[in-house]
Amino acid sequence: MSDAIRFTLNGEETLYNGNPADRLLDVLRETYKLTGVKCGCKEGECGACSVLMDGELINSCMVALGRCEGSNIVTIEGFSKTEHFQVIDKAYAAVSAVQCGYCIPGMVLATEALLVKTPHPTEEEIRTGLSGNLCRCTGYNAIVKAVQIAAKEGDGLW
Amino acid sequence: MGQISGSVVKRDHSTKFSGAAIYVGDYMESDILTGKILHSQKAHAKLIEVKVPELPAGYYYVDRRDVPGDNNVNIVKDDMPVFARETVEYIGEAIGMVCGPDESMVEHILSAIEVVYEDLPVVTDVLKSDTAFFDYTITKGDIDKAFKEADKVYEEVFETGFQDQTYLETQGMMAEPQAEGRVFLHGSLQCPYYVLNAVTRALGLPREKVHIAQDATGGGFGGKEDYPSILGCQVGVAAVATGHKVRCIFGRREDLEFTPKKHPSHNTYKVAVKDGRVTAMDVDVIFNGGAYTTLSAVVLQRGIICANGVYDVPNLHIRGRAIKTNTVPSGAYRGFGGPQTFVSVEMVMDHIARDLGIRPLEFKLKHLVKKGDSTSTSGKYHFDVPIVEMVEELDRICDYRKKREMYAKPQTGRYRRGIGLSMCFHGAGFTGSGERDFIKAVVRLKKSADGMVTILISNTDMGQGLRTIMPKIVAKELDLPLTQIIYEYPDTDFVPDSGPTVASRSTMVVGELLCQAAKRLRAEWQDGEEQMIEEHYKHPEFLIPFSLDDFKGDAYPTYSWLVNVIELEIDTYTGRPQVLGAYGCFDVGTPIDYNIVVGQMEGGFLQSIGYASMEYMTADKTGRIRNNSFSDYIIPTAMDVPNLKVILHTVEYPEGPYGAKGAGELPAVGAPGAYMEAVEQALESVDLHHIPFTAEDVLKSLEEAEKK
Ligand code: FES
Ligand code: FES
């Protein structure tokens, strides 16, 4: 049992007894049933599988469980309980930035990661901050606008 | 813009935003078998033998011998097998499927299967193939006379490449055996009844034994019009053969390489000009159909109908062929044949204008069709053509004319600029009499005793917003709050066939039927009673009957219009064309929801820019597509076109709900013409002839210019 990997998952102390080489994305979805974490490529290219690891945005398809030892992992399911989420949610809703929704959990966490670093980003900073997350539906304008609204409405939160 | 257009929070916003929406990959029951396809590694070969190793308990291999019904997928011509017959016709064709509880074990078994092939000749070049799946001709006026009397004749060839839909959720379908020999299929799909027709036939089951439902769908763009029927038959066969739930979800590489994409094209334009006016076009359109017909007939029809663009050309001869090759079958992609011919005609008009020393915009406007003019198929433009106003509206926001003059002056530095403009239409709804003769849409509204109203239609929301649009229409007619209207993901057990979710038809055709049904429900409303209202499609009476035999009549009841402007800067060191501004004015009639329509326009416009500029994909001589990952097939990120602006112009369509007409596809049609005109200007007025036109192409073109 001392072999288990210990990490915090959405605020809960978690022990993972499987293979340390297992892909974080697969473990989140299959073992912990956190299906808000999406898979768009499994090659680190699309961002659909984005989660926060110690506050940094990472592609969970590119991380082995072994690397998660001692870390704090937050998925969309955990993030949805936060005040930050509420603000971002409202902002995306106001401009109808969600189309097929498949990129969205990743986008939301990318938005959070960006606003934590840069609470009042310029448009260019937003576009750079979201550039690791592909969206085929929206053309990105509505998402960029949503981030701007979130930054404004959530002034002081980040 | 009327009251209806005011935006509401999308009805599926919250479930998708919080990650709670269930896509087909999200079912987590432990009794689902993973299915993986054994894909052909040869583009054309005889299948001699498939050597399957001994399988561990609980693992299965299925192929054509397991198909209980007809081993042909019902699409249009039904020539594509569920699982390969004696030959394989393209790399990726499904030979069989391995199923089992553990995905890595399934993969291991797949890699241990040995397929013995006997090579057959591979054809990848449309010009070398001797099989035309379809061959159509449109004629109008007297082409010979026009060419004889011409002052000048131009002839040019334009080529366009593959474009992959690249929905962010890959293809995925799941089949479940149910009690009493029923089979349930669900997944990521656009057209539940298409899947139903295909699966009942492949499984040899009557309609009541099969039902199909849509799960949350992560984008379609046409790519989930035909392929879910194919994949549905495959998982259906596997579920029946194994007695288990079987789910197959494609990996990104599988999806990019082996599923249908936009038809590459080779278009020859011969144009007669007299007294500064185009008098005739003789156009030869060749689409690469790939290995099976799938949707090529209908894509080609639309493509050739658009071949003369938005221009009034009195004498026309348009021949269109969809050619068989040993590449992945080409299919539906937003725009459906239009993008290929529109970019060609826009470029030829530019080139002729420049040769005549006239500004391209002026030259194009001189030829623009107007209300009452005849279409390429001798039908009629029954409604206003708003292009002139749209050009002015765009010019006001982006200074097209001024910049066009400015960038025409010699540019010598490292960075060179250009600006281009294109104008296009998209014919709304099915081509010709498809709605009346084949689709025959039926919609229902069910009112429960407590006053909740359920929309019963087979149309799907794959992101484009139907789950919000349709309830808005019904709520408005019934004067009820939106929350009182229910519209779930369709299941063919409960919804009538209101037709597929394709061809930009859903809002215009099905939305209008719902509007009518709601009007009737309102008139017949009885408190406390259960009520059911049904409406059937009625063909608009003003239409000139269309015949596919001679391509004569109204191909479409009305048209949506666009004007696009692209401004860019080329870095002559790296070749990189940076889009400085992309401006689109779109007329899709009344927007039923402003945000949703603008979102559709922005997303489609960016896809169209990707098509013109960076989305390069090709099959090599062996028929293999190597651009099969996001590092080889590049789609735009948030940084590629930072300045993309959309404005709407509204010409109401009296037969659509509140004046709405087709919207979904239009924005994906027009950017290449504008992009190429801008590149040509930045490269000092060279004539270019293909898309995508990438950084490498720019460098090549600069090199050639230097040699001269
Ligand atoms: S699934 Fe991880 S980056 Fe695409
Ligand atoms: S909303 Fe569909 S990929 Fe972003």
Q: Is the dihedral of CA B199, B200, B205, B209 positive or negative?
A: positive
β-strand pairing of B45-51 with B87-88? antiparallel
Verify whether the Cβ–Cβ distance A127 to B167 is below 8 Å: no
pLDDT band, very low/low/confident/very high, at A2 (cuts 50, 70, 90):
low
Nearest CA in chain A to B24: A35
Mean pLDDT score of chain B: 97
Contacts of A43 in chain B (CB under 8 A): 252, 629-631
CB B273 within 8 A of CB B356: yes
pLDDT band, very low/low/confident/very high, at B605 (cuts 50, 70, 90):
very high
**Which tens digit of pLDDT belongs to each residue from B628-677?**
999 999 999 999 999 999 999 999 999 999 999 999 999 999 999 999 99
Q: Rounded to an integer, what distance in angstroms lies between the CA atom of residue B331 and that of residue B296? A: 6
- Distances, alpha carbon B356 to alpha carbons B311, B359, B402, B680, in Å: 17, 9, 21, 16
> Which amino acid residue places its CA nearest to atom 4 of ligand 2?
A135
Q: Rounded to an integer, what distance in angstroms lies between the CA atom of residue B420 and that of residue B403? A: 10
Query: B317, exposed or middle or buried, with CB in 10 Å at 0-12, 13-18, 19+?
Result: buried
Q: Tell me the β-bridge partners of B157.
A: B268
Residues making up chain A, counted from first to last: 158
Cβ atoms within 10 Å of B204's Cβ, excluding its own: 12
- Whether B168 lines ligand 2, by a CB cut-off of 6 Å, is yes
CB B29 within 8 A of CB B86: no
**Option in B252, B463, B630 nearest A101 (CB):** B463
Q: Inform me whether the pLDDT recorded for B430 exceeds 60.
A: yes
β-strand pairing of B210-214 with B245-249? unpaired
Separation in Å, CA of B645 to nearest CA in chain A: 9
- Distances, alpha carbon B368 to alpha carbons B138, B356, B479, B520, B554, in Å: 20, 18, 42, 41, 18
Verify whether the Cβ–Cβ distance B638 to A42 is below 8 Å: no
Separation in Å, CA of B444 to nearest CA in chain A: 25
Q: Which CATH class is domain B265-431+552-707?
A: alpha beta
> What residue type is assigned to position B582 of the chain?
A
- Distances, alpha carbon B691 to alpha carbons B386, B618, B672, in Å: 28, 12, 8
**Which tens digit of pLDDT belongs to each residue from B669-696?**
999 999 999 999 999 878 999 999 999 9
How many interface pairs between A and B have CB atoms less than 8 angstroms apart?
A: 170
Non-local (6+) Cβ contacts of B355 within 8 A are B154
pLDDT at B2: 65
CB B546 within 8 A of CB B433: yes
pLDDT at A34: 98
Q: Is the dihedral of CA B430, B435, B438, B441 positive or negative?
A: positive
CB A131 within 8 A of CB B638: yes
Non-local (6+) Cβ contacts of B695 within 8 A are B574, B575, B576, B577
- Ligand with an atom nearest the CA of residue A38: 1
| Coil, helix or strand at residue B344 | helix
pLDDT at B685: 78
Q: Inform me whether the pLDDT recorded for A1 exceeds 70.
A: no
Q: Rounded to an integer, what distance in angstroms lies between the CA atom of residue B599 and that of residue B590? A: 15
Do B265-431+552-707 and B24-121+180-248 have the same topology in CATH?
no
- The predicted model gives B451-457 an average pLDDT of 98
Q: Which residue has 């009195």 as its token pair?
A: B314
- The predicted model gives B344-365 an average pLDDT of 98
- Distances, alpha carbon B591 to alpha carbons A142, A145, B288, B298, B367, in Å: 17, 20, 35, 27, 29
Q: Rounded to an integer, what distance in angstroms lies between the CA atom of residue B575 and that of residue B31? A: 53
Q: Which residue has 């993973």 as its token pair?
A: B34
Work out the percent of chain B whose per-residue pLDDT is above 90: 98
pLDDT at B308: 98
Q: Where are the beta strands (DSSP E) in B127-255?
A: 132-140, 152-160, 172-178, 182-187, 210-214, 245-249
CATH code of domain A82-153:
1.10.150.120
Work out the percent of chain A whose per-residue pLDDT is above 90: 98
| Portion 108-147 of A in contact with B at CB < 8 A | 108, 123-124, 126-128, 130-144
Verify whether the Cβ–Cβ distance A92 to B13 is below 8 Å: yes
pLDDT at A105: 98
Contacts of B13 in chain A (CB under 8 A): 92-93, 96, 98
Closest atom of ligand 2 relative to the B16 alpha carbon:
1
Structure tokens at B704: 């050639």
pLDDT at B438: 92
pLDDT band, very low/low/confident/very high, at A97 (cuts 50, 70, 90):
very high
Q: Which CATH class is domain A5-75?
A: alpha beta
Optimal mutation site among A128, A141, A143, interface B, most CBs of chain B within 10 A: A141
Q: Inform me whether the pLDDT recorded for B626 exceeds 90.
A: yes
Q: Inform me whether the pLDDT recorded for B1 exceeds 60.
A: no
Contacts of B219 in chain A (CB under 8 A): 99-100, 102, 136-137
CB B295 within 8 A of CB B196: no
Optimal mutation site among A136, A143, A144, A147, interface B, most CBs of chain B within 10 A: A136
- The predicted model gives B557-571 an average pLDDT of 98
**Which tens digit of pLDDT belongs to each residue from B184-226?**
999 999 999 999 999 999 999 999 999 999 999 999 999 999 9
pLDDT band, very low/low/confident/very high, at A3 (cuts 50, 70, 90):
confident
**Which tens digit of pLDDT belongs to each residue from B224-267?**
999 999 999 999 999 999 999 999 999 999 999 999 999 999 99
> What residue type is assigned to position B597 of the chain?
V
CB B453 within 8 A of CB B484: yes
The domain ranges of chain B are 24-121+180-248, 265-431+552-707, 434-536
- The predicted model gives A50-58 an average pLDDT of 98
DSSP secondary structure of B419-483: EEEEEEEEE-SSSTTHIIIII--EEEEEE-TTS-EEEE-----SSSSHHHHHHHHHHHHHT--GG
- Whether A102 lines ligand 2, by a CB cut-off of 6 Å, is yes
| Portion 21-50 of A in contact with B at CB < 8 A | 29-30, 33-43, 45-46, 48
Q: Rounded to an integer, what distance in angstroms lies between the CA atom of residue B652 and that of residue B655? A: 9
- Helix or strand (DSSP H, E) at B565: strand B559-571
Cβ atoms within 10 Å of B479's Cβ, excluding its own: 8
pLDDT at B708: 79
Fold of B434-536: Aldehyde Oxidoreductase; domain 4 (3.30.365)
pTM exceeds 0.90, yes or no: yes
| Location of each CATH 3.10.20.30 domain in chain A | 5-75
**CA B474 remoteness from chain centre:** 27
**Option in A40, A76, A133 nearest B18 (CB):** A76
| Location of each CATH 1.10.150.120 domain in chain A | 82-153
Fold of B24-121+180-248: Aldehyde Oxidoreductase; domain 3 (3.90.1170)
**Which tens digit of pLDDT belongs to each residue from B17-42?**
999 999 999 999 999 999 999 999 99
- Distances, alpha carbon B702 to alpha carbons B163, B408, B690, B697, B698, in Å: 25, 17, 15, 9, 6
- The predicted model gives B521-536 an average pLDDT of 98
pLDDT band, very low/low/confident/very high, at B3 (cuts 50, 70, 90):
confident
Q: Rounded to an integer, what distance in angstroms lies between the CA atom of residue B618 and that of residue B694? A: 13
Q: Inform me whether the pLDDT recorded for B156 exceeds 70.
A: yes
- Distances, alpha carbon B334 to alpha carbons A125, B96, B164, B203, in Å: 31, 30, 10, 30
**Option in B25, B637, B642 nearest A134 (CB):** B637
